[in-house]
Structure 1
Amino acid sequence: MKGIYKFFNDVQLDKKEFIELDVSDFEKAQVKKRLKQSLKKKKKRVKRWRQIAVAMLFMGLSGAIIGYTFPAHAGSIPIVKNIFQFIDGDRSFLYENYKEFSTAIELSEMSKGVEITINDALYDGETIFITYSLKSKKKLGDQLRIHDTSSSLKDADGMAWGSEIKRVDDYNYVGLLTVGNFGTNVGDTAYLVWNIDKILMEKSNTIINGHWRFAFSVEATSKYTQIVNKSSSLDGINVTIRQITHTPMSTIVYVRQQLDQHILDYWDNIDLDFTMTDDMGNNYDGLNHGGRGYPNDIRTGKTFGKVDERATTLKIMPHVRLMKSSVNDDEPIEEKNAFGETVVRNRAVEVEDFKEINLEPIVIELKE
């Protein structure tokens, strides 16, 4: 974005020639995005070489600083290369190809000495992944939490937001925001507004009150959906694989869970999960989606990494954990958390019964 601002500084304008009009945040974001793409195409070659030289210098300096702090991740320095892989080493396989297919957003907001930048976004048709970086003028400590308010996704009939943030050095942090579980109304273009009003430094229990607001859109990646509708049932539990969607960087499995009434009458916590393998000997793990629907009929899913191109079949193994519990008679306690929100501390829970059920695997022939 700095290149755009520099470009504007060199342009001579007569303010009297223009009439200022109100535009939405989405329109502003789209103008910035198109302008940046246009500038990239029109730049002269000599400027291109100058930018490459500056970028190489920046990468060298950043690599020396951040590589010293995290030597094991020097090949995936987040500010320079790939936040997707850096943010969660345990699930780095899931984000292996995400950077390649993400869209550069590059929107920044400064407030109270803290600059937050939306770097990249990726929308696979089910979940939106957004990488961001945070730069502070003072040390903020090892552990941060971001508090957002009045954030929204256009046309969504339900959302689940989740954010992870990691320290790079004393003044820099990177994060990954995931937005999902929003039904089928969003379409192939997702329009988001993300409002941040507080940053919590957990160790010192100190809050920075500010205002960081972002509005942008992101297009869904190309995808192919295979309708499956194959089921496995046991003891009043029915699991149906509805469909599988393949994208350039992921495999999304959509599931329907149906329960008989006697299951709901006895058990008060029912947790469905499933694992996936293929005929090439690969074992896949992934990220669960939130569920939606009614207690006896829930639609959910899971995002896995990209399936081996040599595979011809997938085997999905559903397993369900059932728990019956009770609580004591003590009154719940209301208290305020670090953000000043009123929360209710749950009463003590005692597990009375627990059961795990492994359903028969569901085998799916992959279509080319």
Structure 2
Amino acid sequence: MKSLYKRFNELKSEEEIEPMDVSNEEKEAMKQQVRMKIQRRRRVPRVWRNVAAAAIITVASVTAVGIAFPTLASQIPIVSNIFSIFNEDQDGFYTDYEEYAVDIAESQTSKGITIMVDRAVYDGKTVTLTYSVETAKELGQNAGVNSPMDIKHTNGSSGTSTALKKVADNKYVGMITTTPDFDKKPDFVDVSWVPDSIVNYDTMKETAGDWEFHFKLKPMTGDVQLVDQSAAKRGVEITIEEIRFTEISTIIEYSQKVDSAVTDEWEWVTADLAVKDNLGSEYLSNGNGGFSENGQDYHFSTTLKKIDKEATSLIFTPEIYMYNGSGNKNETVMLEPIEIELVKK
């Protein structure tokens, strides 16, 4: 599969495209478009955000079978906790993931490159997978695996893929996530991951191969606190619907309602949440995307790390991004904070 960037390079245009300055507000709006990419039910384009290249790559529906790999040390050096490698950049988000993740320990070798799925976990909202890559070739400082996970029986999914991090000579680790959208939550998720290639995003050189992995995960259980508290301004209403607490994460379900007058004026309206607790600690909000039944009102979710045990409330400040494209008028609207008292169980 050709990368999206390579396809862009092959496009022909009769006009010379001139670079233009972009304001901070426009940059933020574009980041929100990528991070909070909307999905619609029934006709769901599956979209992915690649951290290394900010590229969107297509998903192929596949069924794959992995090969059991008896020991981590036989081909790839042991990394005691791949989650910890990515933890520092993510504000401690993955602190508890290693303890609760399931050992997969499966590998495939193709074209002299061994990819091994290390561990995976499904917190009931998002599947997170860590993996290792070993190759005699130097992959470069900005490389990534050019394929997302596929989960059966979903309306669609969104997710992220990290750049590969070098841990030794010709040995790398990576992490990939997907947030599936189900009509009904299953007892387990059936996951396939079929990497098409490894891409050096600096040179756009791809190394294709034939790797296949297949495994199942049970969702983590957690306590749910129903909320239904809202804030509104400028024709946009944000409602915090529920908070779910698991052993590794805190999942926020929230909705966005937009007046038709707003959608008539703005091409793109989307919401993000700034989150802190009553102790003053701020929480990185990892948006999981969302869906819409009518193209105007949306349901989103976002995931935080575990909340401080001493915290008694969370304060959500909705940030609304109104966007009409590059070079046009764009706005950011801050709503009044929503403070929610936490129910301890």
Q: 1:266 to 1:200 in 2, by over 3 A?
A: same
CA shift for structure 1 position 169: 2.9
CA contact (8 A) 2:147 2:196 kept: yes
Confirm or deny that 1:358 pairs with 2:334.
yes
1:253 corresponds in structure 2 to: 252
Structure 1 residue 366 displacement after superposition = 1.2
Between the aligned partners of 1:140 and 1:95, the Cα distance in structure 2 is 26
Asked whether the 8 Å contact 2:64–2:212 carries over to 1, the reply is no
Q: Match of 1:157?
A: 155
- Tell me the equivalent position of 1:335: none
8 Å CA contact 1:157–1:185 kept in 2: the answer is no
Corresponding residue for residue 316 of structure 1:
316
- 8 Å Cα contact 2:275-2:285 kept in structure 1: no
The superposition leaves residues 143-189 of structure 1 with CA deviations (integer Å, 9 ceiling, x where unpaired) of: 2232238x521111111132112222331010001011423435241
Q: Which residue does 1:209 correspond to in 2?
A: 208
Counterpart of 2:318, as a letter, is P
Taking a change above 3 Å as real, the CA distance of residues 25 and 90 of structure 1, as seen in their structure-2 partners, is closer
Residues 281, 203 of structure 1: alpha-carbon distance in 2 compared, 3 angstrom cutoff: closer
Contact 2:153 2:182 survives alignment (8 Å): no
Amino acid at match of 1:96: T
Q: How do 1:328-347 residues align onto structure 2 when only pairs under 5 Å count?
A: none
More helix by share: 1
Helix, strand or coil at the partner of 2:195: strand
How many residue pairs were aligned?
279
Question: Is the alpha carbon distance of 1:81 and 1:227 closer, same or farther for their aligned partners in structure 2, counting shifts above 3 Å?
Answer: same
Q: What RMSD, in angstroms, separates the aligned Cα atoms of the two structures?
A: 2.6
- Cα distance in 2 between the residues matched to 1:129 and 1:214: 14
Output the CA distance in 1 between the equivalents of 2:117 and 2:132: 7
Aligned-partner Cα distance in 2 for 1:169–1:355: 45
Superposed CA offset, 1:10-49 (max 9, x none): xxxxxxxxxxxxxx966x78xx69xx8xxxxxxxxxxxxx
Deviations along 1:183-229, one digit per CA (max 9) or x if unpaired, are 34352411111111222233444322210000001111221111111
- Which residue identity does 2:102 align to in structure 1? T
Distance 1:203 1:238 in 2: 41
Which 4+ runs in 1 deviate beyond 4 A?
none
Q: Superposed, which structure 2 residues align to 1:158-177 within 5 Å? A: 158-164=156-162, 165-177=164-176
Using CA pairs below 8 Å that are at least 6 residues apart, which structure has the higher relative contact order? 2
Identity of matched residues, %: 29
Within a 5 Å distance, the mapping from 1:283-302 to structure 2 comes to: 283-293=282-292, 294-302=294-302
Paired residue secondary structure (2:155): coil
Determine the C-alpha separation between the residues in 2 that align with 1:290 and 1:262: 24
Question: What is the alpha-carbon distance in structure 2 between the residues aligned to residue 201 and residue 25 of structure 1?
Answer: 25
Report if aligned partners of 2:313, 2:339 keep a CA contact under 8 Å in 1: yes
Mapped contact 1:154–1:186 kept (Cα < 8 A): no
CA distance in 2, matches of 1:355, 1:235: 11
Are the structure 2 counterparts of residues 188 and 286 from structure 1 closer, same or farther at C-alpha, using a change threshold of 3 Å? farther
Work out whether residues 181 and 289 of structure 1, in 8 Å CA contact, stay in contact via their aligned partners in 2. Answer: no
Residue identity in the other structure for 2:254 = V
Report SS of the residue matched to 1:89: helix
| Distance (whole Å) between structure 2 residues aligned to residue 87 and residue 289 of structure 1 | 18
Relative to the length of structure 2, the TM-score reads: 0.74
What pairs up with 1:51-62 in 2 under 5 angstroms?
A: none
Structural mapping, 1:271-286, within 5 Å: 271-286=270-285
1:263 partner SS: helix
Q: Which runs of 5+ in 1 are unaligned?
A: 1-23, 37-50, 63-78, 326-348
Larger radius of gyration, structure 1 or 2? 1
Matches within 5 A, 1:120-159: 120-148=119-147, 152-159=150-157
Q: Which runs of 5+ in 2 are unaligned?
A: 1-62
Residues 141 and 170, structure 1, Cα contact 8 Å, conserved in 2: no
The CA deviation at 1:92 is 4.3
Aligned to 1:262: 261
Residue 285 of structure 2 aligns with an amino acid whose one-letter code is G
Structure 1 residue 312: Cα displacement: 1.8
TM score, norm. by length of structure 1: 0.70
